[in-house]
Amino acid sequence: MAKHQFDVIVIGTGPAGESAAMNAAKKGKSVAIVDRRADVGGNCTHQGTIPSKALRHAVDALMKFNRTSLFRAISDPKVLDYQTMLNSARGVIRKQVEMRARFYARNHISVFHGDASFVDSNTVLLKEGEHANELLHGENIVIATGSRPYRPPEVDFDHPRMHDSDTILTMTETPKRIVIYGAGVIGCEYASIFSGLGVKVDLVNPGSRLLAFMDDEISDALSYHMRNHGVLIRHNETFKSVKGFEDHIELTLESGKVLKAEAFMWANGRAGNTETLNLSAIGLEANSRGQLEVDKEYRTSVENIFAVGDVIGWPSLASAAYDQGRSASGAILDDFTATFFSDIPTGIYTIPEISSVGKNERELTEARVPYEVGKAYFKDTARAQITGEDTGVLKILFHRETLELLGIHCFGEQAAEILHIGQAIMVQKNGGNTLEYFVSHTFNYPTMAEAYRVAALNGLNRLDD
């Protein structure tokens, strides 16, 4: 049985694992990285962020084509099937895998393929895969195994018409109607995607509003926009059972409603990928969701073992996972730039996008913070009028007395990009994080960034009223 010695072993090649491995390797450590797949990239590249966002982009492009009057003059509206949209995503996945494989080779990181299982706190046994039965020994180990969709036992996912957010990427037909159970980030994103393809969507929400953690006004805007595009949103409905037939499914809700469709997607919860790690061998125990608890350095209760990314739960974002992985390896290296990230921007790739950083109105009201609001509606900006993407709003929350920026919320085309301008100003020190920045600096015209100036002036005018 072959045994290999390393300074650092990283289990998982998603964003968290990749950044942990790269940071350690660039600081001179010998690094091994392990993945159960034959290709690197983790769930993010193969079943999560990359394919779903590439699919979303393709559908969004189709929607733009069909509503642009210039194109209508030369062509009838186009109707493309789900498989055609997925093909564009597969090309992106291939490019991502090739790029990341080059990164590992360039940085002399040893890549192993197999299922990792702990023997002790310094030793990992690889099962199955290309490197089955090989042992890896490391001074420090980083668990970055990601997560998978939660699968309730009462749903028959072997039925060809029943899917989760992984298997929906293998669906071969374009359904006329789909029922999506769960209206969190994943459920809302796929509701937008299928609606954009002309599929009738029933979005079943166990809660009382979409994306309840977001600013209420932004959540309401998404609800309105989805309904305007034909999505039927059913709030406060809970799952009872679902049955699959040859040509349809039937979802029964606790309220007694029965929904019929050609496809069903379960999008309600995720679980950490820890079940095959043999955690008992090192004295670790995952919670009921398969997640691990860590401290501010992403260290578990075992001194030399760290955990990062989706496997530790919130916020379960690829962007945060990169930072967490770098910080965990920073702690291993005694690099004091390691940071525990808490104020993380949220990007939700519905159509249109939603993005947010900082506090929302509900939180500021509950904390009795004297705040004011500045808004810029996209329909009033020249750039949005030029591009035809005039649905949306930029919303700035700021302190009435100090003008300090407290929260930035955006709904509309390129919201996830636009947000970062406000985020950059929010973290400025020595009084630089105020609304005044946006009125004392010149913005290119016409741009979407100019919305910050418009929103700032709108907010200042409220103080004068």
| Per-residue pLDDT at 389 exceeds 70 | yes
| Per-residue pLDDT at 77 exceeds 80 | no
269 labeled part of a ligand binding site: yes
274 labeled part of a ligand binding site: no
> Which run of H or of E encompasses 203?
strand 200-204
Q: What would the CATH number be for the domain defined by 3-149+271-332?
A: 3.50.50.60
147 labeled part of a ligand binding site: yes
423 in helix, strand or coil?
helix
| Per-residue pLDDT at 439 exceeds 60 | yes
User: Which pLDDT tens digit goes with each residue over 136-188?
Assistant: 999 999 999 999 999 999 999 999 999 999 999 999 899 999 999 999 999 99
Predicted confidence at residue 465, as pLDDT, reads 65
User: Which pLDDT tens digit goes with each residue over 393-403?
Assistant: 999 999 999 99
Average pLDDT, the chain: 94
Domain boundaries, the chain: 3-149+271-332, 162-267, 352-464
The total number of residues written for the chain in this structure: 465
Give the residue, 63 or 338, on which the prediction is more confident.
63
Q: How far apart are CA 65 and CA 84, in angstroms?
A: 16
Side-by-side strand order, sheet with 392-399: 346-348, 353-358, 405-412, 392-399, 371-377
Which band of pLDDT confidence, cut at 50, 70 and 90, is reported for residue 116?
very high
53 labeled part of a ligand binding site: yes
Q: How many other CB atoms are there within 10 angstroms of residue 306's CB atom?
A: 30
| Per-residue pLDDT at 446 exceeds 60 | yes
186 labeled part of a ligand binding site: yes
Which band of pLDDT confidence, cut at 50, 70 and 90, is reported for residue 196?
very high
283 labeled part of a ligand binding site: no
42 labeled part of a ligand binding site: no
User: Which pLDDT tens digit goes with each residue over 1-14?
Assistant: 678 999 999 999 99
146 labeled part of a ligand binding site: yes
189 labeled part of a ligand binding site: yes
User: Which pLDDT tens digit goes with each residue over 29-41?
Assistant: 999 999 999 999 9
Which band of pLDDT confidence, cut at 50, 70 and 90, is reported for residue 431?
confident
Hey, do 162-267 and 352-464 end up sharing a CATH topology, with the first three levels equal? Answer: no
Cβ-based neighbours of 422, under 8 Å, separated by 6 or more: 357, 396, 405, 408, 452
Residue 124 phi/psi, 5-degree rounding, is: -125, 130
198 labeled part of a ligand binding site: no
Q: How many other CB atoms are there within 10 angstroms of residue 161's CB atom?
A: 21
17 labeled part of a ligand binding site: no
Class for the domain spanning 352-464: alpha beta
Q: Contact at 8 Å (CB) between 184 and 209?
A: no
| Per-residue pLDDT at 301 exceeds 80 | yes
User: Which pLDDT tens digit goes with each residue over 229-259?
Assistant: 999 999 999 999 999 999 999 999 999 999 9
Predicted confidence at residue 354, as pLDDT, reads 97
240 labeled part of a ligand binding site: no
255 labeled part of a ligand binding site: no
| Per-residue pLDDT at 123 exceeds 60 | yes
CATH classification of 162-267, choosing from 3.40.50.620, 3.50.50.60, 3.20.20.150, 3.30.360.10?
3.50.50.60
459 labeled part of a ligand binding site: no
Predicted confidence at residue 3, as pLDDT, reads 83
CA angle 375, 49, 219 (to 5 degrees): 30
Predicted confidence at residue 343, as pLDDT, reads 78
Cβ-based neighbours of 148, under 8 Å, separated by 6 or more: 43, 166, 270, 271, 273
